[in-house]
């Protein structure tokens, strides 16, 4: 089951990372709490800019950064930085300015000034200041941002608007000053501003293009407004109909899950009723011990299951015990199960030699770290072969078609996963992701048991319930083979209550156990033999698995900007 849930969980992590987790790659811990960018347009088309940045630092810092990428046809000159009237050292790297100001756990306010050459575009009928003070290169959130644009002289003839984060944030004063109150601006966002005045306010500025532009600017502004209205309408429709569609999808999924759950419960109840008034018994062997442990233990094979598998080969006579508390391969049958062949190859060929194996050789083998990956590879192949045997039996219903349809239905949600974040609907996006993951988990994990599967599960559940309180008389009434299978099952599933009861019940075999080492490979196989090797095999395989896992796990864990004209930039610290 855990393996089936792995892909949906990984997908959920990716989706959460993409939509919700911030990307902040710098080392200094700080916030930019307030920023004011004030642009004074001049009659010659140049723009004098004064920026005030307030930083809150947590810990040591060396200064702040400001990236100013001029748009095509313009340039940045006369860049200066001051704090409380004192000049600060500036280091320039292309468009990045590093302002040196060391400190620790402080709130500082730094004033930046610079001149934009060619900042105002001059046309036949209008002059415009179209500028990206920041763009998607900005690495940190501006908690409060205000952009102010002053005309050369007071005027009432003003066109002003903003894009993206700056859209519909403009306020025009009586003297023609435009204030863009953007508020909080997340990192990685664009927000160009566009302010146009009568061209006569710039008598000494060079002409950018000898053509009219006012109507085009007004049309662009209207198009933005129309697009915003259309977006708002689409957002409302998505909120209503998209939410209704998600609710309907969730309802259908709930009904399907409820129906299949009730069917499984009905089948399970019918099986349980057929076992009423039953006393303790060891279930008949339907498949191998390893496959039985896997099937009845949630498809989990603890390291102790490999120890039980070895001793089960002893029980079946395929492997014999030797006089030195080791094992000898009695015969290499051609009808061995695949996982039995893999286990024999690992223990008797790879680790042991000449058809013999003992636990000391296993410990010696795994002392060499180069063998750790080999052991884990064999263990994985063995577990996969055990799972293959389980699938060969009629224990699960064939629901491939149903599961495929359920899985493909998740594709219906993918458009919503794209559209909802585009239209700013986080609540709908969250529930869509939750529903998407639920569908995938259901499609991957839905494996209803057949009646035979329920019978096998319930029989071993009865066994575990009775076995933990089993009386010694009932234990002795079992056949020798039943006692060995019961003991090995408890050893393999490695559940505390079963293991403890195993230890109590085999106490009566102490005398036989004492003679086991001297019996040699020709001694008979009985519960005393299994009980003698059980604790040794269990602890050895557990220790070896932990050692080899820790080694393999540790070894495996070892452009242009978005602003207008390619311009833009952002703020930071170092």
CA distance 499 to 479: 20
Whether 556 shows a pLDDT value over 60: the answer reads: no
One DSSP character per residue, 252-314 reads: HHHHHHHHHHHHHHHHHHHHHHTTTT----PPP-SS-HHHHHHHHTTT---HHHHHHHHHHHH
User: Which residue is it, tokens 């410990």?
Assistant: 363
The pLDDT assigned to 562 comes to 54
Residues 343-401: tens digit of each pLDDT? 999 999 999 988 999 999 999 999 999 999 999 999 999 999 999 999 999 899 999 99
- Rounded to 5 degrees, what are φ and ψ at 87? -70, 145
Residue-level pLDDT at 554: 54
Residues 201 and 348 reside in one and the same domain: no
Could you give the number of structural domains in the chain?
2
Same domain, 186 and 281: no
Q: Is the pLDDT of residue 40 over 80?
A: yes
On whether residue 414 sits in a domain, the answer given is no
Please tell me whether residues 466 and 344 are part of one structural domain. Answer: yes
Helical H segments across 400-526, by residue range: 400-409, 414-422, 426-445, 451-467, 472-476, 480-493, 496-505, 510-519
Query: What's the sign of the alpha-carbon dihedral 68, 571, 569, 226?
Result: negative
Q: What CATH number does residue 166 fall under?
A: 2.60.40
Is residue 452 domain-resident?
yes
- Please classify residue 135 by burial: count the beta carbons closer than 10 Å to its beta carbon, then call 0-12 exposed, 13-18 middle and 19+ buried: buried
Q: What percentage of the chain's residues is helix, strand, coil (to nearest 5)? A: 50, 20, 30
Give the pLDDT score at 569.
66
Question: Binning pLDDT at 50, 70 and 90, where does residue 13 land?
Answer: low
- Asked if residue 205 and residue 278 are part of one domain, the reply reads no
Choose the final residue of a domain: 194, 212, 230: 212
> pLDDT by residue (tens digit) across 258-295?
999 999 999 989 888 888 777 788 999 999 999 999 99
What percent of the chain shows pLDDT beyond 90?
61
Q: Are residues 308 and 203 in the same domain?
A: no
pLDDT in tens, 14-30: 555 544 444 444 467 88
Q: Is residue 119 part of a domain?
A: yes
Give residue 3's pLDDT band: very low, low, confident or very high (50, 70, 90): very low
Q: What is the average pLDDT score of the chain?
A: 86
Domain closes at, from 189, 212, 235: 212
* 304 shares its domain with 183: no
In this predicted structure, what is the pLDDT of residue 509? Answer: 55
Q: Mean of the pLDDT values across residues 238-259? A: 92
Q: What is the pLDDT of residue 54?
A: 94
Question: Is the pLDDT confidence value at 557 over 50?
Answer: no
482 and 367 together in one domain: yes
Structure tokens at 189: 């966002």
In a domain, 237, yes or no: no
Query: Which structural domain, as residue segments, surrounds residue 368?
Result: 274-397+447-550
State pTM to two decimals: 0.65
- Contact status, residue 356 vs residue 348, Cβ threshold 8 Å: yes
For residues 440-478, b (16+ Cβ closer than 10 Å) or e, as one string? bbbbbebbbbeeebbbbbbbbebbbebbeebeeeebeeb
Q: Note whether residue 264 is domain-resident.
A: no
- The answer to whether position 337 is within a domain reads yes
Residue 403 pLDDT exceeds 50: yes
Task: Say how far apart CA 142 and CA 420 lie, in whole Å.
Answer: 25
| DSSP 8-state symbol, 396 | B
Q: Does 510 score more than 80 pLDDT?
A: no
The gap from C-alpha 173 to its chain's centroid, in whole angstroms, comes to 50
> What confidence score (pLDDT) does residue 325 get?
78
- Evaluate whether residue 260 is within a structural domain: no
Q: Of residues 50 and 564, which shows the higher confidence score?
A: 50
CB atoms within 10 A of CB 35: 21
In this structure, is residue 14 part of a structural domain? no
Last residue of a domain, which of 181, 212, 243?
212
| Residue 221 to residue 238: CA distance in whole angstroms | 25
For residue 88, count other CB atoms closer than 10 A to its CB. Answer: 16
**What integer pLDDT is reported at residue 552 of this predicted model?**
64
């Amino acid at each position: 089951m855990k393996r089936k849930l792995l892909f949906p969980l990984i997908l959920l992590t990716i989706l959460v990372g993409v939509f919700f987790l911030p990307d902040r790659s710098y080392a200094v811990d700080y916030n930019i709490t307030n920023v004011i960018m004030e642009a004074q347009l001049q009659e010659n088309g140049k723009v004098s800019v004064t920026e005030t940045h307030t930083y809150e630092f947590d810990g040591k810092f060396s200064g702040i950064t400001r990236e100013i990428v001029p748009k095509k046809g313009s340039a940045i000159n006369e860049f200066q930085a001051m704090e409380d009237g004192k000049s600060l050292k500036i280091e320039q790297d292309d468009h990045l300015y590093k302002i040196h100001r060391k400190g620790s756990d402080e709130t500082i306010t730094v004033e930046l000034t610079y001149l934009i050459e060619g900042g105002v575009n001059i046309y036949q009928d209008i002059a415009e200041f179209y500028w990206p003070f920041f763009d998607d290169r900005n690495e940190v959130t501006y908690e409060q941002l205000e952009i102010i644009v002053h005309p050369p002289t007071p005027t009432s003839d003003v066109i002003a608007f903003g894009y993206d984060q700056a859209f519909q944030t403009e306020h025009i004063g009586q003297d023609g000053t435009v204030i863009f109150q953007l508020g909080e601006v997340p990192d990685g966002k664009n927000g160009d501003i566009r302010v146009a005045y009568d061209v006569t306010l710039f008598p000494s500025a060079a002409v950018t293009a000898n053509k009219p532009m006012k109507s085009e600017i007004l049309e662009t502004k209207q198009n933005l407004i129309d697009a915003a209205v259309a977006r708002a309408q689409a957002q409302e429709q998505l909120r209503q109909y998209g939410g209704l569609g998600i609710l309907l999808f969730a309802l259908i999924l709930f009904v399907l899950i409820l129906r299949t759950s009730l069917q499984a419960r009905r089948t399970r109840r019918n099986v349980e009723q057929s076992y009423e008034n039953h006393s303790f018994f060891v279930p008949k062997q339907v498949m191998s011990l390893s496959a039985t442990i896997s099937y009845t233990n949630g498809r989990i094979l603890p390291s102790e299951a490999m120890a039980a598998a070895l001793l089960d080969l002893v029980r079946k006579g395929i492997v014999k015990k030797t006089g030195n508390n080791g094992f000898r391969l009695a015969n290499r049958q051609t009808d061995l199960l695949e996982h039995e062949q893999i286990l024999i190859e690992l223990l008797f060929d790879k680790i042991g030699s000449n058809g013999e194996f003992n636990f000391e050789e296993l410990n010696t083998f795994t002392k060499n770290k180069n063998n750790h990956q080999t052991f884990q590879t064999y263990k994985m192949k063995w577990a996969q072969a055990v799972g293959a045997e389980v699938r060969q039996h009629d224990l699960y219903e064939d629901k491939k078609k149903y599961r495929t349809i359920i899985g493909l239905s998740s594709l219906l949600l993918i458009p919503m996963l794209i559209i909802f974040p585009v239209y700013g609907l986080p609540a709908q996006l969250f529930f869509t992701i939750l529903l998407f993951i639920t569908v995938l988990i259901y499609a991957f994990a839905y494996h209803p048991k057949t009646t035979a599967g329920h019978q096998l599960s319930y029989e071993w559940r009865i066994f575990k319930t009775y076995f933990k309180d089993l009386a010694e008389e009932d234990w002795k009434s079992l056949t020798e083979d039943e006692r060995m299978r019961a003991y090995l099952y408890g050893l393999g599933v490695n559940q505390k209550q079963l293991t403890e009861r195993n230890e109590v019940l085999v106490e009566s075999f102490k005398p036989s156990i004492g003679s086991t080492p001297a019996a040699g490979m020709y001694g008979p196989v009985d519960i005393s033999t299994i009980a003698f090797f059980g604790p040794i095999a269990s602890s050895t395989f557990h220790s070896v698995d932990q050692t080899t896992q820790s080694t393999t796990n540790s070894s495996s864990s070892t452009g242009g900007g978005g602003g207008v004209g390619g311009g833009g930039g952002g703020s930071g610290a170092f």
